Amino acid sequence: NAGVTQTPKFQVLKTGQSMTLQCAQDMNHNSMYWYRQDPGMGLRLIYYSASEGTTDKGEVPNGYNVSRLNKREFSLRLESAAPSQTSVYFCASSEEPRSYEQYFGPGTRLTVT
Q: Which among 78, 79, 69 is positioned nearest to 110, based on CA atoms?
A: 78
Q: Which stretch binds other proteins (CB under 8 A): 16-24, 61-69, 73-81, 90-98?
A: 90-98
Question: Is there binding between residue 33 and other proteins (CB under 8 A)?
Answer: yes
Q: Which CB, 40 or 53, lies closer to other proteins?
A: 40
* Separation CA 110–CA 93 (nearest Å): 21
Residue 86's Cβ-count burial label (10 Å; 0-12, 13-18, 19+) is: middle
Question: Is there binding between residue 71 and other proteins (CB under 8 A)?
Answer: no
* Separation CA 20–CA 40 (nearest Å): 25
Question: Is there binding between residue 65 and other proteins (CB under 8 A)?
Answer: no
Site for other proteins in 94-113 (CB under 8 A): 97-98, 100-107
Question: Is there binding between residue 53 and other proteins (CB under 8 A)?
Answer: no
